[in-house]
Each structure stands twice: as structure tokens, then as C-alpha cells.
Structure 1
Amino acid sequence: MASPTSTKLPVGTILSGKYKITREIGRGGMAAVYEAENIDIGKRIAIKVLAQELTTSMVVVERFFREARAAAAIRSPYICDVYDSGRLEDGPPFLVLELLEGESLYERMTKVRYFDVPTTLAIITQVCRGLTKAHAANIVHRDLKPENIFLGKDEDGQLLAKILDFGLAKFYTPLDGSGGPQQARLTREGAVFGTPAYMSPEQVRGQGAVDHRADLWALACIVYECFTGRTVWQTEQGVAMTFAQIASAQPPDPLVYRPDLPPSFKAWFDKALDRKIDHRFQTAREFAEELSAAFETVRPEFSGLFPTDQLSSLGRTVPAPPPSKAGLTATGSDLPMVSMAPPSSTMPNPFGSMPPPSVRGGPTSEGGSPRHTKSTFEAPPGTLEPLGPGLSQAPPRPRTAALGIVTVLVLVALVGGGYAAWSKFGPASKGGEVETSSSAMPSGSASAVAPHVSASSSVRPVSSSEVSPSSSLLPWRPLVADAQATLATGDHKGALKLLKDAFDKGGHGVPRTMLEHVQVAISGDASKSPCTLTGLARPRSYDLGSAQPRRVAAGRPWIALGPRGPIMVWTDTHEGPEHAFAVALDEALRPLSDPIDVTPEAGAVTRPVVTAFDDQLVLLYADGHGAEAGVHARLLDPDGRIGGPMVNIAPLRGPSSGTSMQRAADGTFVVAWTAETETGNDELFLRKLSPKLEPQGEAVRATDFVPTGPQKPRVRSPMVGIAGDAAHVSFRLERTPNQVAYHMRLPLADVGKGVEARKKGDRNDRWIGDTIVVNTDKSKADMTGIACSKDACFLVWDGESNSGVSAAYLDAANAQPLWRDKRFSKVGGHPSVGVDASGNARIVWFEKGGVMTAPISRDGVGPSTKIARVSGAQPSPAIITGKAPGEWFIAWLDFEAGQLEPYAARFVCK
């Protein structure tokens, strides 16, 4: 076993004068990885430090720096970025890396026996996109394996796969045009690099002519493993026997283990592992296109970014197990869960009586770390959880004994209190029944729907006699419900005591997380705080009363104040495909019923928005999958139930990055969304609806941007506000090499007028109305938001990766801001803004683990208040005004015991 690196950096150490170490993530035989902060701009990054004892090897050091050169030469959203490099004062080199949140494909494989077709195609196609860029730069990875494929989320909550660790990459056409002795030594004839189970025949033979097709061989082995839960080659007998199989053994038939797969996949697999290199797939693009064709799906488009309509979490999911006591494995449960559709309901499950899959890899890994063997593996207790009828749970895959350079990068998945809560206070067994996270309010409560009340109103606590019999399974629930009622009266100390008592009854994640929210809200001198927390909601209740619940991550929530009280909406996959669910909350923000599926027709809902207009609740959402793919709206009743038929606003070719709507003074609605066009661009679209949600006129294209690089332009995350007789739309444009925030002002009378058809040879950007760039410094803008009163609008945006929050004040008659407040928060991110009926505006954003809020007016941004906690880089929260003066509601995602959970809060500001 390779000993863990002896390099140790204390917390607080500053490297190169600007990178401050904040914590150690993990360490292995070759390197240690730390989380750090760029103290100049507040950006969180990862630092990888080579082991001190390996610095004497020039070959190892060169391979270490090779990772930086490879990433710098490629620049792809599907490859982990390397920002900088340097050396410690005592010699060891270090790399500054993109800080990733999620888990490796290997970690996912430890919990899932086999993946479904859409999920596998989504992952593999994105990896092929990264390989296409790498191979175009004449770089071969040479060590592709599940550990080196990272599964995270993009900003819209969709699955995003990244390739990690180009430390063994071969620049088979040197970037500087010459090889030299060092290059020859690193890629010399006869050298064997890679991980045995995924190596190509030419790698096994040590041929110096190994090229990009070796990566495609490895990726084919990974595809096989995704579908069957087994490695292609039997690896128990060591490296020599593995190499012998690669050189001469007949590849296995995947249909033996997955007879539900089509014969065309076997033909694809046979070609992918043809030992004659010229008979295999020759490019990553061909590899991905033919794989999709084998399943008769649409061939992936390689001219732009990967269409994410295949990235929805489909089918059943597996909950993430608790991390190891050493804290060196990440569950990544903030990811969209991988689907586990069974092979067929009409055939015997081939895994039902099958022994555990062969162990992965050979006896040693790169860096000398022992890999897995049957004789040494023992399943950790509590890692298997029943999935329900008809589903097969994989036995836990053996994990590597020592943490390698690549694997440690995935350990940044769960940050802040969420990960710690799972590790210290996760599900606890009581009498054979597993306590699991649930809503703080019992489903099916006998309470009537109560009118909304302010914080000063009297709220009756819930007694234990009112809680359903299942509360014996979760004895803390009545206490949490009482704490919510106590908090609504303004008694923070009483709420804290009840939450602490609830937490003492089993150390559950729900009271733990709610306790931390309240503690954050009342930290400091509460008497001087401009805002006071008066309510806290945790609305999901799927696992109440179940000893064996199935937890799934939620998508970004939204909140509206209906005629009877607050309504929350979010997305998740607890019933299969990604749907939107709604629930009404009482005066203490406790759910009044089980969540209700308000998009039963949908295939893959993203970013639903529910908005209250007088006594009318309107749900707007995008469905990116299936026959009903499109932008839709429907009425909800005051209790959050379906109140009208689905209204089809416009069809979609794939998922939308966001939808938004606002109502004009005449009662009509303006709807904005993004959609893929026939050219592959993602552009802004608009349409008017009648007061009864009837579409008026045609959906029109509002922008037409010209590509300036290899990737297609993408308009993202539009938000609509209406001031007077004009619509104001904020959005972000992603276009190589810039990423900027735009503001569009458009007279309501012109909403139905789209951009004119582009003439041949025209290379100018086009849009309707007055459209300007807001962040004139051209820094990379991230989230944008806008809200309008009768005569003014407030626009907010942030810099990419939490590099500060900015705001602008807009006169309703002009597109150009009257002023821009540059970075009123230097380290915050993901802002939203709301306006009440009196024209008072308020911003909410995330900063240093807290949910922050501040007023904004024509005179600028006022003092801020921290009102709750947040863990990780979550999507922008939703903010709406309440009924009482100074009252506001927000909804956001937060980690709860390692799981993304929707939360909402009510607060009152002076």
C-alpha cells in the first residue's frame, strides 16, 4: 500500500500570496487536495499538492504539471479546469483546480448496479464532447476510468459530466512542436500507463504509437460497466491475467447480463472493442453518434453544447449511503440521482440471483495503491437500502484502499453543514426501524387551511395527539411542528429549545438543519438587525411514516402567496420522471397535505415558477422531454391543487434554461423562456397570454446572436418585469469568450414582433426593443434577476463562481440604468430581487454560507441581514412580498443530511 502523502498544509496557509487553505479534502499516495479561497476575489478553488517524497522524481513531477498544461490546452466545460500552478516554499508543486461538487462515476457505481439508457447516453456523450476537444488539441488522456469521470450539476440542475486528471495525458503531437528527452521519457516505447481494466491492446503491448483511440476503447469498457454492473475483463487474478484477456480473450456478450438491450448495442460494442485499431471507432464523435443510433435515439449534436433533454433523472433512484468515518468519500447526493429502470417487467431479473460483480481493476492502481480484491472486501454496515419491488440493488462496490490523485477531487461534493450533518447526525437505527428525513409537519394533518398571519399573530402549537400514528417512527416531529409555531410568534429562544429537544430524539437531519437556520438568523445583536426571521418551512413529506424511505434530491423551489396562504413548488423524481410538486403551508409554514403532483403529463420538468396574481395562482414550467415537450402554464387552486388544464405556450426541441412571466395592467401576461433554435443557438422567446391564459399571437424569437467561437451562443435564465407600458427582461448570454448580463426593454405593444429573418452574410447580433449589456466591465456574469414597480426596475447579477453581487436601478422609460452599484457584496452570489405593492424592493443572495437580504432603492443598496444558512453553490432563491408591511418570503435549496432539500422562510424587516 502506498503511504499517504506526508505533505501537510495547516488551515490558514497562504500559497503564492493569494490562495488561503480553508480545509483538507483528502489525501492519497501521490497527492493531497485542499479546499482554498482566492483571497483577492473570494473564489473557492481546490489545491492539489504533490507528495513531498515524490518530488525527487522528475518524471512524476512532469506528469503532475502535465495535468495543468493539458487542461489549459483544451478548455472545455466537460473537462475539469486547472487555473494555476506553483510550488510550496519547501519544494512540492501544486495545482489550482476548479472546485467540483458532486461525485465520480465510480462513486455512483458503488450504489447503482446498472444505469438506464438515457442516463448512460447523457454521461457518455458529454465525455465524448470533452474527448473531442482534447483529441483536437492532440492530447490523449490514457487513463479513462469511472474514477476519472465526475458527475455534477450545471446551473440548471442538469447532469454535467467532466473528465478529470490528465496527469498521464500524452501530447502525441507536442504542443511546442518538439519532443525532447523529457517528452520521450514520459511516452517512451514499452512504457505501460493506465488502469489495467480499461487499457487498450496497444497500451498493454507498450506501443509508443498509442493515440486517441485508446481513450475510446476505455470509454467502451465504461459503457459496458454502466449497463451490466461488471467490468469487461475478470480482474481478480492480477494484472498479468487481465493483460492476457485484453490481448486475446473474446470480449463478453453484454446481452447475457442485460437481455433487454437491443442487438444493435452488441454490434456497437463488438466494434468498439475490435482489436484491429483501424476497425474500431475512429473519433469520439463517431463513437457517441453510433452509440445513440444503436438505441434509435437522436444522434447527439456536436456543433454546440450538449442538449440536456436526456439528462433528466428518470425512473427509480438509490439514496446515497453515509460517508465513511474518515470523511474521505463523498456521496454526492446533491446530484440528480441515476435512474435504475429494471431490464423488463416480463423477463427474469438477471441480477436477482447473480453473485456480486467481479471486483474492479487489478491488484494495484496507478501510484502503487492496492485496488480491490474479493478476499479483502467487506460491505460497510448500513450501505444497502431496499429500493422497492422489481428493483435490484447492487452490493457495495469495493473502494480503493488509498485515495488517488483523481478520486480526492470528488470529495468537495458536499460542503458546509449538510455534509457534516449526514456524517454526524445521519439516519439512526431504532429498534430495527431507520429514522429518515421528513417534513416537520405530518402529512394528512387535521388542521384546516388557515389564513395567512403575520409574525405577531397567535399561532397554536401542534400537540402530539394531532400527529399521525407514524410519529412513533419519528418522535421529533411534534416538537419541530411546535417549534415552527413558536417561531411564527417571534419567540426565537423557545423555538431553539424545541428544535434542540427534537434533535435529541435521534439526531435527525430535519431538526438539525432547522436548528442551524434559526441559530444563524439570531446570531449577533438581534435588536439591531433590520430583519427578523418569523417562519421556516420544510415542505416535503414523502418519507413520513416509512421505516424504509427513499430520498431523492429536489430541484429549485419557488413560493407564492395565494389567497389562503403560501404555496411552495419544486421538482423531484420520487415518483419517477422529474415532475413539479406543490403544497400549501399554514400560518406557521407547516405543510397542510402531502405534496401534490401538478404536472402529471410531464416528462422532465425544469425550474417551475408559481406566481400569485390577485386571487389567481399560475404555474409556469418547461417540460424538456417526451411528446409534450414545451413551455406550459396552468392554474392552481388556493390549496395548490391543479385548477385548470395544461396550456401549451410553445413547443421545445430540448430543455429550457428557465421560464418567467409577469402580468400587465390590462390583465394580459408576458411569458419569456429560452429555447434551442434550428441553428443550435439557445435564444430568448416571448409570447403574450390572455387573462385566462389563452395564447395570443405566435411565440416570437426576441434575440439572434452570432457565434464568436466553437460553441453556439446560449441565452440563459430570463426574468421578466413589467413597468408601465413596457416589459423589461434580464438574461445572461454565454458566448465564447464572454458571459455577460443583458437588459432588454420592450414596449408591450411590440411583444408579438420577433426579430427579422437574417440576410445571407449578415454577421450582426439582432434583438427586439432596446437591449444593452449591463455588466460593462465584461466580467463573466452568472445569475441575473429583475423586478419592477410601476415606474422603476431593479436588476441584479453576480460574477461567475461567487465573485460578487451587483445591482442596477432602471428608470421604466429607459433601457440604460441610472446607476450601477458595482459589487455591493464582494464575495456573494446568486441574487434575486423582489418588489412589493408600494414599490419597496429587496435583494436576497448567498454569502459565506448565509442567506443574506438587503433593501434596494433609487438611493442604492441598504444594510444587510443574515436570515438563514445555505450550504454549497445553490441556484438563486425565490423572493416574494407578504401581506403585512415589511414582510417577505423566500424559498431556496439547502443540504440536509447530504440531500438537497427545499426550504422557505418568512421574515419581517423594519
Structure 2
Amino acid sequence: MASPTSTKLPVGTLLSGKYKITREIGRGGMAAVYEAENIDIGKRIAIKVLAQELTTSMVVVERFFREARAAAAIRSPYICDVYDSGRLENGPPFLVLELLEGESLYERMTKVRYFDIQTTLAIVTQVCRGLTKAHAANIVHRDLKPENIFLGKDEDGQLLAKILDFGLAKFYTPLEGSGGTQQARLTREGAVFGTPAYMSPEQVRGQGAVDHRADLWALACIVYECFTGRTVWQTEQGVAMTFAQIASAQPPDPLVYRPDLPTTFKAWFDKALDRKIEHRFQTAREFAEELSAAFETARPEFSGLFPADQINTMGKTIPAPGPSRPGFTATGNELPMVSLAPPSSTMPGPFASMPPASVRGGPQSEGVASPRGTKSTFEAPPGTLEPLGPGLSQAPPRPKTAALGVVTAVVLVALLGGGYAAWTKFGPDAKGGAGTASSSIPSGSASVTSPQPNASSSVRPASSSSADAANAAPVLPWRPIVAEAQATLAEGDHKGTLKLLKDAFDKGGHGVPRTMLEHVQVAISAAAAKSPCSLTGLARPRSYDLGSAQPRRVPAGRPWIALGPRGPIMTWTDMHEGQEHAYAVALDASMRALSEPIDVTPEGVAVKQPVVMSFDDQLVLLYADGHGTEAGVHARLLDPDGRIGGPLVKISPLRGPSSGTSMQRAADGTFLVAWSAEVDTGGDELFLRRLSAKLEPQGEAVRATDFVPTGPNKPRVRSPMVGIVGDVAHVSFRLERTPSQVAYHMRLPLAEAGKGVEPRKKGDRQDRWIGETIVVNTDKSKADMTGIACTKDACFLVWDGESNSGVSAAYLDAANAQPLWRDKRFSKFGGHPSVGVDAAGNGRIVWFEKGGVMTAPISRDGVKNAAAARIARVSGAQPSPAVIAGKAPGEWLIAWLDFEAGVLEPYAARFVCK
């Protein structure tokens, strides 16, 4: 195998002016894979970069780009999407891929030995659907193996298998744009490509005419491995012996290792591995249908994928996908849910070993190494849990598969925290509930509580149509238990809460109790370590997936939390009703939702990062909408229950999405609003505007910065935050400008907030701003998120570093732009910090570190590291949490995003610190 690629992209690197690297997922001899963000739309994606040393081979580079062409030609929900491609400045090409969360089939095989029939059929059927689309587009994968089948969940929480890595795919039609000439052959006669254990006889012989039936041979080997826990061929003695077996050895009898399987399966297997290619299954559809028939189950649905006459021509030369080929998209027909339910009493204990919550799975990639038969490099924290499915037993180390040529590297895939071991439909035990959802269960919560007495009938619920009512699911049996657990947690009984959440998880293996269970485990560990902080509340406010027979799961955007006159109010964004809107919900004393989520931006089109803030008895919602006729920065009042309390106020129009908005109230009751917005030159700059105490815009919106480009990319101001001390505003923001990325602090008298920067004169190359503006991270390391919070005398400023990681803080008095002190990297491994203050002037920082939500006090004397505490879990590099002071002394509230069964879910917590 080639040595790991030397191509290395630092965190924060910007590709093509819009893809920002956020972390490395893995690397191997051919490629490195990174997680990244499309900064224009905020979408998380994966970047696959070819090794620098391989760019000199035209053949290798062509195969690399072939992956993009193949995915673009197929377009199937069962195939990993490739969105874009390009080249780095120093030459290596890269692909922009769909970011997947879950685990590969290979990863699952390392955890369990035998798969149950229903699970295997579901995986194989979905793979066959993907292959049907690929083969119809005249594309053969040629390297199908467990590493290239990815297991995730769809929006409904159901098992979803995707085929990865078409880097070796073979096309049978000319490439688009080739002028009608046949594409260059990259596979010459006699060349061997693939992974030995899954190669067909024609591949082993190096026949150039390898077609789609080679994929079916490989899939048959995978089916055998799912059922028996071992590969078809013995691979320990190397490639030559493996090839010899494929060429002439009798295939093994699967019933020797799984005598519980029917003899009809053996007949199916013998046909699937017949060396005479014409005697094998000829299409993926036939392959899947006959496999289901072997187990006397319903034949899988394929009719919606293609017209019948097209299916009959599989394997023949047919036109490539295009406008002339209608019906080339899936119909949305879903497989029945395959339940890998929580273990039964016969399993070794109710819970085994849950994967670490801090690990995110990503897209697999050929060339990213993860040696077969070895454990993942990620280790679960003590006390975490993972149920195994029915019929699954712990697997011994799997044998290594021999490597070969440019295809030898195996894929690194990390398991996403939040419940992928429990492949269960949300509420699989719902049929065990009594009756339909009663009025005692608010559909806006994962818990049971009394409805809000003053709930307004005018509120538009998330699912209010008669069709939804007819489709309502019975009461999920675990929901009352979760509600009781939330109340028990509010009483400070962590062990009692843990027991209740385990009971709730046993009733369906749902992601809600699973994730809450992990949060409480952190609290118990902290209590055992005599932590200065204690978890006293946990909220999971969304309910779209909990109240219908066919739930639709959609990821949420960054949440926020405020303390209203009647209790906490939580907001977030999602697209469960089509367009991205902001939703709000009020929480009770046990952090349970008091109503369904309320759409507080019905006028919105693409609402981003809403912020709700409490000023005495006044709740103000601030947000940016980057699209539509009403694109702009908006504000409105909310009532004490989180409902719309006033008309929409347009603060400023926008040309496109904004990276963030912030506001604070001055001593005279007026407000200062800050946001980033695109300007005529294409970059993003800082803008400000004053509002009256009644949210009426005062004067004009003013441009507060004007930065000069220093490279090919336009400068961009990101994520401004506002604090006010007396009559002085303090604004923090991040400036992205090639090659730097630094944190800034602007000190601005409020009287000058209505004066923008002067128009730039021709030839002027000086940065300009209003007020006093200085660089905070003087070490010039690449800064990421900034946060600011002010007392009546001073402000605390926090930021983190992308390249070296670590969280830093500074103390600002009202009279100076320069900090009185900086505590550089008080947390060396943390990131994404936020800071809040209480009425007494006490400050508190919250950040993410090693899969945990961390907190520490901050004061004029510095950050008290000795009092740092871990209060909850987090999986993935999520946006900074929101943190505010609670009602009681030492009480704090936070809101953050976390993965729950593969979907970004807003959570909130209450904790008390001594």
C-alpha cells in the first residue's frame, strides 16, 4: 500500500472561495477526506482530495474525476452524491461529496457476527436499487464491498443504505462533451482492478468486457458475509491464492455456518456465484427479488424506479440519463422499516457498548485507510451504551482482505454518536400504546405534561391538517417515562433519571431517550468526580417525529434560548414544513415543552440563526432571511409564551444570506443591531442600525467596516456579536481574508453608531472602520467563532482557533479597545465558545471539548480552570451554544445542536454551579 498521502489541508482552508475545511475525517494512500462547510449556504459537505504524489498519473486523475461523473449520471437516494469538483492551488484535484453520518457495512460487521434476515434483505434491496440506476446508466461499480456500502438513516429514521466510491466505475457510453468520440479506455485488457475477496471470475481474468454482473457477484459475496460472519474465500494466504479460489474452488455452503437458513437460500447463493456468467442473475432487480423469494418474503418494489421496458434492457446499451428519459427518478416508495430493536433478555445485559457520542461518521472514500480486523481509533467514554439488534452476536476480529493496486486502501468510517446502533423506526412499539395521543401529551415535546392553560387556539401547529390527524400514531410508550425522567432530573435525582431513561429506551430503542441517557450519564460522572456544576434540566423540544404514523425527520439549525417572564423560551430553524422557518416553544420548570413548536416567522423563506433575547418583560426575536422578496434582517416581539407578539420589523434588506445577527439594549431602552451582509464588491462587511425601545428603526443602516482584499477571495466579516457598557458598544467578529482569519474587537460610542465609513477613494488600499477596532488574537492564528457578553462595567470576549484549536478569552473595560488581559488558549483542545453574564456581573463560558459540553467561570481575575466542569455531551463540530443566566443564583441555561440518530436536533439544558 502506498504511504498515506502528504496532501494536508489546514482547518479553515477555503476551496473555490466557498468550501471551508472544518476537520479531517481520514486519509490513506490515495486520498484524504475532510469535513467542510459551504459558507454561502451553511451546508456541511465532505471534501475528498487526491494525494499530491498521484497527480502526475493522468490515468489516476481521470479515475478520480470519474467518481464525480458516475454519481452525476446516476442520481439515486441509494448512492452517495458528488456535488462538485475542482483543483487545489498546488494541483491536486478534489471532489465535493455528500456528508454521510452513520457507519459502513464493514464497520457494522466488526461489531456483530451474524445479521438477521430482515436487516440483510433491507440492505441488499436498497443496494440493488442503487445498482439498478447505475446499470441503467451503463455504469458498473467494479469495487463493491462492505466498506463501500454505507448505513445511515433517512428523514423518517429508517435504515438507508448508500453505495459509495465509484472511482473504479466503468462507463459504457461516451463521456458528455466528448464530441461523440468514444472515451479513452482506462481499463486495458489484462488489467485487474477491484478488491480480491469480492471480485468476479471475469475480473480476476482481467477481461476488458467486465459488465454489470460483476457487481452482482460482489453483492452475493457480501450477502454471504452478512449471514455467516466470514468472507466467501479464504484471503489469509494472499492475492494469488484468493484468485485461484475464485477461478476454480467450490463456493462454500452457507448452511454449514447458518443451519437456520432455508435450503432455498443455498440454491440462490449457488446461482449468484455460478462461474458461467449467463447462468447468474442478470439484473439487480432479479437478484433482489429472488433473494426475497428464497426467504418467502414480499418481493421488493422496483417498478417505481424505471419503466418496465427499460428494466428489461438492463445490461444492454441504452441512452444515458437525460431529459429524453422521463421516469428516471425514484418514486419515494420506501422499504418496510427494518428493526434492529433493543436486545432481548437473552442478550448479555440490557445494554452493551454504545459508540462514542463525540464521533461523527463521514463519507467513505477509496484511499482512506482503516485496516480490516482492527478496532476503530475512536474509543467510547466510560459508561456509554449500545444495544445490539436481535439475532446479532458480538463478532470476532474479521480477517484482513488482501489489497491490490490502486484500489487497495480500505475506508475509514467513524460511528456517529446518537443512536446508530439502534436501527429502529421512531416508535416501533407504538402499537402497544393505548389509544391515540391524549390531550395530556403536548405534541411539541418528547415528554408528558399538562397543557399550557392559556394556549392560544390561533397558533398554527406543526401538523394540523385533517390528513395528519387521521395519520396520528398511538401514544409512543416511552414518552410518559421520558417526561417523568425530566421531572426527576429537575429534582436533582440523577440515578433515578438514568433508570427511567433506560426503561424508556427499552420501549422501542428510540433516539430521544438514547441521547438524553448519554447526557445524564455525563452528569452522573461529573457528580462522582465532585464537579462544581450539576445538571438540573434537559429539553428536547421538537415533536415532528413523535406525533404521526409516518414521521419526517429534518435537521435543525442553531438554537437559542432566553428566559422570559414565565420561563425559558427556545428557538431554532428547520424545514419540516418546506421552507426554512424559525420555531419557538416555551418550557416548563422541568424543561418540557408546553405546546407544539410555533412558527414565529411565517413570512420567511430561508431563515437563519434566529436569536431571541429577553429585556425585562420583553422578548425580542432577531433573524436574517437571505432569500425571497422580503430578504433582510428582521425583528419582532414575542409574547411570554413564545408566540408572535408584534408585527415584523424590517431592519435592513439583504442581497443574500447573512452569517449572523446580534442585538443589545442600551441604558436608554434603545437597541443596537449588528449583522454581516454582502456588499457591491462581493465581500461581506459589518453593518449596524439603531432601533427605538419599540423596535422602530432609527436613522439608516450604516456600513461599519470596509476591508481591502489581500488575495483572490473577497474579505468576509462573520458572526458579529454585540455588547453594551454604559454608552459604549463593543462588537466582536471574525474576519476571513486570504491568508488570515482573525478575531476583531470594535469599541464604538453609541453616539457614533449612526455614522458609517466614508466612501473609498480611488486607489485607497487602507482598511477602514468606525470607532476603535483592533485584532484580538494577536498571535494571528486562525480564529473561528467569537462571543461577547457585558456587565455594567466591562465585557468578556471569547474566541477559538481553527488551526491550533483551543479556546481563549479577554477582559475589556468600557474605556479601551485593547483588552486589559488575554488568557490565550485556557482550554487547549476546546472550541466554539460562548459567554454569558448574570445580573450580579458573574461571567460563565461554555464551549465544546472532546465530545463534552464544558463550562467554567470567568471574572476580572481570569478564567477559573480549576472550576471547569463537563455538563453534557455533544457530537460533531457544532455551532457555538447559546448561554444565559437562569432565575436562581448560580443557575444557567444553554441551547445547542447535537446529533440524535443521525439528525441534528436542538437540545437545551439547565445547570447549577457552586
Which sits farther off after the overlay, 802-811 or 367-376? 367-376
Measured against aligned partners, the alpha-carbon deviations of 1:302-353 in whole angstroms (never above 9, x if no partner) come to 9xxxxxxxx9x9xxxx998986474489xxxxxxxxxxxxxxxxxxxxxx9x
Measured against aligned partners, the alpha-carbon deviations of 1:450-498 in whole angstroms (never above 9, x if no partner) come to 9xxxxxxxxxxxxxxxxx9978441010011011111111121221121
Which residue number in structure 1 is paired with residue 642 of structure 2?
Answer: 640
Correspondence for 1:795 among 771, 794, 797: 797
Query: How much does 1:562 deviate?
Result: 0.6
Which residue number in structure 1 is paired with residue 175 of structure 2?
Answer: none
Contact between 2:41 and 2:657, CA under 8 Å: does it hold in 1?
A: no
Contact between 2:445 and 2:594, CA under 8 Å: does it hold in 1?
A: no
Distance 1:410 1:708 in 2: 41
Distance 1:903 1:94 in 2: 39
Contact between 1:384 and 1:393, CA under 8 Å: does it hold in 2?
A: no
Amino acid across the alignment from 1:642: I
Distance 2:759 2:719 in 1: 24
Query: How much does 1:378 deviate?
Result: 3.9
Which residue number in structure 1 is paired with residue 502 of structure 2?
Answer: 500
Amino acid across the alignment from 1:158: G
Which residue number in structure 2 is paired with residue 159 of structure 1?
Answer: 43
Correspondence for 2:575 among 573, 576, 590: 573
Query: How much does 1:547 deviate?
Result: 2.3
Which residue number in structure 1 is paired with residue 881 of structure 2?
Answer: 877
Gaps of at least 5 residues in structure 2 are: 90-96, 111-128, 144-167, 169-192, 200-213, 217-282, 293-297, 305-328, 336-363, 371-408, 456-469
Measured against aligned partners, the alpha-carbon deviations of 1:718-747 in whole angstroms (never above 9, x if no partner) come to 000001110000000011111100000000
Distance 1:368 1:448 in 2: 65
Query: How much does 1:230 deviate?
Result: 11
Compared with structure 1, are the counterparts of its residues 769 and 228 closer, same or farther at alpha carbon in structure 2 (3 Å cutoff)? same
Which residue number in structure 2 is paired with residue 368 of structure 1?
Answer: 194
Contact between 2:533 and 2:912, CA under 8 Å: does it hold in 1?
A: yes
Contact between 1:78 and 1:162, CA under 8 Å: does it hold in 2?
A: no
Query: How much does 1:362 deviate?
Result: 1.8
Measured against aligned partners, the alpha-carbon deviations of 1:414-452 in whole angstroms (never above 9, x if no partner) come to 75522xx222364377479699999654589535479xx
Distance 1:433 1:71 in 2: 48
Query: How much does 1:167 deviate?
Result: 4.7
* SS of corresponding position for 1:528: coil
Compared with structure 1, are the counterparts of its residues 82 and 861 closer, same or farther at alpha carbon in structure 2 (3 Å cutoff)? closer
Distance 1:195 1:597 in 2: 47
Amino acid across the alignment from 2:832: H
Distance 1:842 1:430 in 2: 41
Gaps of at least 5 residues in structure 1 are: 1-50, 56-60, 88-92, 101-151, 172-182, 200-217, 233-282, 286-301, 303-310, 330-351, 397-401, 451-467
Contact between 1:705 and 1:766, CA under 8 Å: does it hold in 2?
A: yes
Amino acid across the alignment from 2:895: A
Compared with structure 1, are the counterparts of its residues 524 and 157 closer, same or farther at alpha carbon in structure 2 (3 Å cutoff)? farther
Which residue number in structure 1 is paired with residue 332 of structure 2?
Answer: 393
Distance 2:656 2:474 in 1: 45
Measured against aligned partners, the alpha-carbon deviations of 1:619-675 in whole angstroms (never above 9, x if no partner) come to 000001111111000111111111111111001111000000000010100000000
What RMSD, in angstroms, separates the aligned Cα atoms of the two structures?
Answer: 4.6
Correspondence for 2:891 among 861, 876, 887: 887
Distance 1:377 1:758 in 2: 68
Compared with structure 1, are the counterparts of its residues 722 and 829 closer, same or farther at alpha carbon in structure 2 (3 Å cutoff)? same
Q: Does 1:608 align with 2:610?
A: yes
Which residue number in structure 1 is paired with residue 660 of structure 2?
Answer: 658
Contact between 2:676 and 2:717, CA under 8 Å: does it hold in 1?
A: yes
Q: Kindly report which structure 2 residues correspond to 1:548-567, keeping only aligned pairs within 5 A, or say none.
A: 548-567=550-569
Query: How much does 1:224 deviate?
Result: 5.3
Which residue number in structure 2 is paired with residue 727 of structure 1?
Answer: 729
Amino acid across the alignment from 2:505: F
Q: Kindly report which structure 2 residues correspond to 1:675-714, keeping only aligned pairs within 5 A, or say none.
A: 675-714=677-716
Q: Kindly report which structure 2 residues correspond to 1:6-45, keeping only aligned pairs within 5 A, or say none.
A: none
Query: How much does 1:773 deviate?
Result: 0.3
Which residue number in structure 2 is paired with residue 417 of structure 1?
Answer: 417
Measured against aligned partners, the alpha-carbon deviations of 1:743-762 in whole angstroms (never above 9, x if no partner) come to 00000001100001111111
Compared with structure 1, are the counterparts of its residues 410 and 664 closer, same or farther at alpha carbon in structure 2 (3 Å cutoff)? farther
Distance 1:543 1:791 in 2: 46
Larger Cα-atom Rg: 2
Count of aligned positions? 631
Distance 1:798 1:648 in 2: 32
Distance 1:676 1:378 in 2: 52
Q: Kindly report which structure 2 residues correspond to 1:394-473, keeping only aligned pairs within 5 A, or say none.
A: 404-405=366-367, 417-418=417-418, 421-424=419-422, 426-427=424-425, 430=428, 440-442=445-447, 445-448=450-453, 472-473=474-475
Distance 2:870 2:10 in 1: 42
Distance 1:741 1:569 in 2: 27
Query: How much does 1:600 deviate?
Result: 0.9
Distance 2:13 2:883 in 1: 41
Distance 2:701 2:10 in 1: 44
Contact between 1:444 and 1:593, CA under 8 Å: does it hold in 2?
A: no
Distance 1:393 1:826 in 2: 47
Distance 1:649 1:410 in 2: 53
Distance 2:429 2:677 in 1: 52
Which residue number in structure 2 is paired with residue 625 of structure 1?
Answer: 627
Contact between 1:509 and 1:896, CA under 8 Å: does it hold in 2?
A: yes
Correspondence for 1:517 among 513, 516, 519: 519
Compared with structure 1, are the counterparts of its residues 840 and 76 closer, same or farther at alpha carbon in structure 2 (3 Å cutoff)? same
Compared with structure 1, are the counterparts of its residues 691 and 735 closer, same or farther at alpha carbon in structure 2 (3 Å cutoff)? same
Contact between 1:834 and 1:881, CA under 8 Å: does it hold in 2?
A: yes
* SS of corresponding position for 2:525: coil
Compared with structure 1, are the counterparts of its residues 70 and 825 closer, same or farther at alpha carbon in structure 2 (3 Å cutoff)? closer
Contact between 2:48 and 2:365, CA under 8 Å: does it hold in 1?
A: no
TM-score by length of 2: 0.62
Identity %: 63
Q: Kindly report which structure 2 residues correspond to 1:132-147, keeping only aligned pairs within 5 A, or say none.
A: none
Distance 1:499 1:611 in 2: 32
Q: Kindly report which structure 2 residues correspond to 1:87-486, keeping only aligned pairs within 5 A, or say none.
A: 97=32, 99-100=34-35, 153-154=37-38, 158-161=42-45, 163-167=47-51, 186-187=57-58, 194-195=62-63, 223=72, 225-226=74-75, 324=105, 326-327=107-108, 358=135, 361-362=139-140, 364-365=142-143, 366=168, 367-369=193-195, 372-373=215-216, 374-375=283-284, 378=288, 392-393=331-332, 404-405=366-367, 417-418=417-418, 421-424=419-422, 426-427=424-425, 430=428, 440-442=445-447, 445-448=450-453, 472-486=474-488
Which residue number in structure 2 is paired with residue 742 of structure 1?
Answer: 744
Amino acid across the alignment from 2:835: V
Compared with structure 1, are the counterparts of its residues 604 and 495 closer, same or farther at alpha carbon in structure 2 (3 Å cutoff)? same
Contact between 1:78 and 1:161, CA under 8 Å: does it hold in 2?
A: no
Which residue number in structure 1 is paired with residue 318 of structure 2?
Answer: none
Query: How much does 1:544 deviate?
Result: 2.2
Compared with structure 1, are the counterparts of its residues 721 and 85 closer, same or farther at alpha carbon in structure 2 (3 Å cutoff)? closer
Contact between 1:442 and 1:541, CA under 8 Å: does it hold in 2?
A: no
Contact between 2:801 and 2:807, CA under 8 Å: does it hold in 1?
A: yes
Which residue number in structure 2 is paired with residue 344 of structure 1?
Answer: none
Distance 2:287 2:194 in 1: 18
Contact between 1:82 and 1:95, CA under 8 Å: does it hold in 2?
A: no
Query: How much does 1:169 deviate?
Result: 9.0
Measured against aligned partners, the alpha-carbon deviations of 1:97-137 in whole angstroms (never above 9, x if no partner) come to 4642xxxxxxxxxxxxxxxxxxxxxxxxxxxxxxxxxxxxx
Distance 1:230 1:635 in 2: 45
Distance 1:724 1:95 in 2: 58
Amino acid across the alignment from 2:613: T
Query: How much does 1:164 deviate?
Result: 1.8
Compared with structure 1, are the counterparts of its residues 663 and 514 closer, same or farther at alpha carbon in structure 2 (3 Å cutoff)? same
Which residue number in structure 2 is paired with residue 754 of structure 1?
Answer: 756
Which sits farther off after the overlay, 520-529 or 599-608? 520-529
Which residue number in structure 2 is paired with residue 768 of structure 1?
Answer: 770
Distance 1:193 1:156 in 2: 28
Amino acid across the alignment from 2:817: A
Which residue number in structure 1 is paired with residue 870 of structure 2?
Answer: 866
